[in-house]
Structure 1
Amino acid sequence: MNNSMISAMVSMNAMQQRLDVIADNIANVDTVGYKSKDTSFEDVLTQVQGHHKDFALAGRSTPSGYTMGFGTRLASIVENLAQGSHKETGNPLDLAIEGNAMFAVQGNGGIAYTREGGFHVSPDPQNAAYVNLVNNQGYQVLDRNNNPIRIPANAKVAVDGAGQVLAETAAGRNVVGVLKLAELQRPEGLVKMDGNLYMLAAGLTEAQVFEATQTDPTQLKSEVQSGFLEQSNVSMSDEMTKMMEVQRAYQLAARALSSSDTMMNLANTMRG
């Protein structure tokens, strides 16, 4: 198989992977708190091939060689953690963050982080006098001490800009917990999980990925907005433009593969 066929096939495979990422972004354009993904590519086994010695003439101004490669491959998929727009819902337990912080919940494998703030209350199976604050997957929302936030049953709940969860009962209004707002410092230290959740990469600690502001409320640069939900940061126009670019690139690679196959058939016919 000649180099042109290998290059075309490798590039077509890379374009298909990029198309899958774009399709995933478009499918989640209305998913609350979803962060779009982008791809980066790198050359495969690129090398400089020297020309025949007859090309090395006196006075030549360009290099006596040419670049020979084997297409491109997917190098990495990068999460775009830019903040999405906020949509008003009127529900006091729908929370959006103005800033780069993330909520913390108790996931199956440990503490998970998310920008999706569509919370609600769920009965506490161990104590009927309380309810737990949970996310849409049923995971308990954590406070600054990594403890689940529990609210007296039948209390009227509100959340202020600092993340304080206020419960109003017949006895008065009290702070029952303060949301953990982990302000992101190193996005590359997070690993994307199912359900719009992120977890720390293996071997990393919170102090290595998040800023220390969660232990000092006065230093927080983020603010909680109650009654709002953060929308997906996917731009449909951008994704459609990328899709057309990928389709054109795929067509060109397919045409190169077809042309290479035609040339090989002609060469085989000319033998003998």
Structure 2
Amino acid sequence: MNNSTIGAAVSMSSLQQRLDIIADNIANVNTNGYKSKEGSFEDVLTRVQQQSDDYALTGRSMPLGFNMGFGVRVPTISNNWEEGTLKETGSPTDLALQGNGLFGVQVNGATAYTRQGNFHFTPDTTNPENMVLVDNTGNPVLNTDRTPITVPVGMSVAIDETGQVLMKRNENDPAVVAGSIMIVEPSSRASLQAVDGNFYVLADGVTEQQAFVQRAAGEASAVGVRSGWLEQSNVDLSKEMTEMMQIQRTYQLAARALTSSDQMQGLANNLRG
């Protein structure tokens, strides 16, 4: 297999991976709180191919040898954490975060984090007298003590700008705090890993103390909560479509290079035969 075949094949694989990222972004253009993914290209390997001394002619200013590459790859996939626009819904359990924050939810018995705040109350299967706050797929929203947030059936509920869940049975009753929604502030985005369902989990080997800002008791958070609003996806559809067309054309060019390389190898084999 010659260098042109290797370079074209490696490049096509990386370009297909980049197309998959774009397709994922476009599919989530209407997913609340979704952060678009980005991939960057880099050379797989570049080396200098030395030339014979016969090319060292009088008057030559360039050194002998030329750079030879072996295609490109996508080394890392990162998220664009720019905040999406807010859309008003009027529902008191629809929440949007302003600032560097994530909600804590319970997914398959473990803690996961998300910006998607379209929550609602549903009957508590363990206690029919209570309602539990869940996300759009039924995962319990966690309290600051890492337990699901519950309120008695028939209560009116509101959520303030700090994430406190306030409840009262009658309009003239004083509001009672039912709990505080778990909101964390990542200190480094590299400490989080995106998983299915628009969730994030801690990267391998990272502890919560390393991943999140540790605030003292009573210290104000830099994250605000807006009740009755939802954060929209930050995917720029026009940008994604433009990039998709560029990547597709590059992929076609790499495919032609691979075909040409295969044809040249076939001609060389026929000449040798």
State the TM bucket, normalised to the shorter chain.
over 0.9
2:141 matched residue in structure 1: 141
Q: Report Cα offsets for 1:133-163 as digits up to 9, x if no partner.
A: 1111212111222222111211111111111
Residue 217 of structure 1: how far off its partner (Å): 5.0
1:113 matched residue in structure 2: 113
**Residue 182 (1) aligns with residue 197 (2):** no
TM-score normalised by length of structure 1? 0.93
Find the residue that maps to 1:67 and give its secondary structure. Answer: strand
1:193 matched residue in structure 2: 195
Counterpart of 2:176, as a letter, is N
- Structure 1 stretches of 5 or more lacking a match? none
Question: Mean alpha-carbon deviation: is it higher for 104-113 or for 258-267?
Answer: 258-267
Find the residue that maps to 1:61 and give its secondary structure. Answer: coil
Residue 200 of structure 1: how far off its partner (Å): 0.8
**1-structure distance, mates of 2:207, 2:23:** 33
Residue 266 of structure 1: how far off its partner (Å): 3.1
2:48 matched residue in structure 1: 48
Alignment of 1:52-201 (within 5 A): 52-57=52-57, 60-170=60-170, 171-201=173-203
Question: How many residues of Structure 1 are paired with residues of Structure 2 in the alignment?
Answer: 271
2:219 matched residue in structure 1: 218
**2-structure distance, mates of 1:245, 1:111:** 39
Residue 54 of structure 1: how far off its partner (Å): 2.6
What is the CA RMSD across the aligned residues, in angstroms?
A: 1.8
**1-structure distance, mates of 2:219, 2:210:** 21
**1-structure distance, mates of 2:100, 2:261:** 50
**2-structure distance, mates of 1:139, 1:153:** 19
TM-score normalised by length of structure 2? 0.93
Find the residue that maps to 1:212 and give its secondary structure. Answer: coil
2:228 matched residue in structure 1: 227
**2-structure distance, mates of 1:269, 1:203:** 56
Q: Report Cα offsets for 1:177-231 as digits up to 9, x if no partner.
A: 1112101111111121221111112221111111113x54533111000001111
Counterpart of 1:143, as a letter, is N
Residue 209 (structure 2) aligned to one of 204, 207, 210: 207
**2-structure distance, mates of 1:165, 1:156:** 10
**2-structure distance, mates of 1:155, 1:16:** 52
1:39 matched residue in structure 2: 39
Counterpart of 2:182, as a letter, is K
1:266 matched residue in structure 2: 267
- Structure 2 stretches of 5 or more lacking a match? none
**2-structure distance, mates of 1:180, 1:125:** 22
Q: Report Cα offsets for 1:59-117 as digits up to 9, x if no partner.
A: 64333211112111221211222211111100000000011100001121511100000
Find the residue that maps to 1:218 and give its secondary structure. Answer: coil
Find the residue that maps to 1:184 and give its secondary structure. Answer: coil
Counterpart of 1:255, as a letter, is R
Find the residue that maps to 1:106 and give its secondary structure. Answer: strand
Residues 52 and 91 of structure 1: is their aligned pair in 2 closer, same or farther, counting only changes over 3 Å? same
2:2 matched residue in structure 1: 2
Alignment of 1:11-26 (within 5 A): 11-26=11-26
Question: Mean alpha-carbon deviation: is it higher for 68-77 or for 3-12?
Answer: 68-77
**2-structure distance, mates of 1:221, 1:133:** 24
